[in-house]
């Protein structure tokens, strides 16, 4: 029961987990805010780039399509009826995750935090909020079917743990500048 909730939550959120990590590898080039400031600080900062956002979103959508191709054998193996992603849900999860992260940078700059500064809580959940919000907006039928109340609870509990773990690994491997 709890196992199948965790499997469903993890599977359904995979297209939202991958974009930010891919953006770390793909980032660079022109920042989204074009270097502009607002009220004495950058609007978003150099850590939010067009390339990172585009490649991260594409990777999340691509992963969703890839998962659709293997959902049947994986469901059979795990013994859980895992969801197939419709295209709008895939875009909502991937692009929503990137938008949540971008929104968090906007808030960090407004609160005087420099690029790379930690914002505990927000750092771990910004992309979950963005991904769920956009997915419920663009694919409401799919979202309500997959993200039931218990699945949402599991998402909110496991995501920060996974996020901290992957960022610590990325930092240890030298691909990320800070371990958050």
* Nearest-approach distance from CB 150 to ligand CTP, in angstroms: 29
Q: In the chain, how long is the greatest CA-to-CA distance?
A: 55
Closer CB to ligand CTP, residue 23 or residue 67?
23
HSE-CB at 9 with a 13 A cutoff on CA atoms is 20
Closer CB to ligand CTP, residue 52 or residue 60?
52
From CA 147, how far away is CA 18, in angstroms rounded?
Answer: 18
Place of tokens 């996020």: 163
From CA 68, how far away is CA 94, in angstroms rounded?
Answer: 15
Give residues with Cβ within 8 angstroms of 114, minimum separation 6: 45
49 binds ligand CTP (CB under 6 A): yes
Closer CB to ligand CTP, residue 58 or residue 71?
58
Q: Given candidates 18, 43, 91, 98, which one binds ligand CTP under the rule CB under 6 A?
A: 98
Which residues, 101 to 120, sit near ligand CTP by CB under 6 A?
101-102, 105, 108, 115-117
* Nearest-approach distance from CB 139 to ligand CTP, in angstroms: 22
DSSP H helices in the chain? 2-26, 50-78, 87-110, 122-138, 140-146, 149-172
Closer CB to ligand CTP, residue 85 or residue 123?
123
Which residues, 130 to 159, sit near ligand CTP by CB under 6 A?
none
Number of residues this chain uses to bind ligand CTP (CB under 6 A): 17
From CA 87, how far away is CA 15, in angstroms rounded?
Answer: 11
48 binds ligand CTP (CB under 6 A): yes
Task: Give the footprint of ligand CTP on this chain (CB under 6 A).
Answer: 23-24, 27, 45, 47-49, 52-53, 98, 101-102, 105, 108, 115-117
């Amino acid at each position: 029961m709890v196992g199948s909730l965790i499997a469903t939550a993890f599977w359904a959120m995979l297209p939202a987990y991958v974009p930010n990590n891919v953006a770390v590898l793909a980032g660079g080039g022109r920042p989204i805010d074009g270097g502009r400031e607002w009220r004495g600080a950058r609007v978003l900062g150099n850590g939010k780039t067009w390339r990172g956002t585009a490649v991260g979103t594409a990777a999340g959508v691509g992963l969703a399509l890839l998962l659709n191709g293997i959902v049947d054998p994986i469901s059979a193996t795990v013994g859980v009826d895992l969801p197939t992603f419709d295209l709008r849900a895939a875009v909502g999860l991937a692009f929503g995750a990137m938008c949540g992260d971008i929104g968090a940078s906007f808030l960090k700059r407004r609160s005087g935090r420099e690029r790379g500064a930690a914002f505990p809580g927000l750092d771990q959940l910004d992309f979950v909020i963005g991904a769920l919000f956009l997915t419920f907006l663009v694919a409401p039928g799919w979202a309500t079917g997959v993200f039931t109340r218990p699945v949402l609870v599991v998402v909110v509990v496991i995501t920060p743990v996974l996020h901290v773990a992957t960022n610590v690994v990325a930092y240890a491997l030298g691909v990320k500048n800070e371990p958050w």
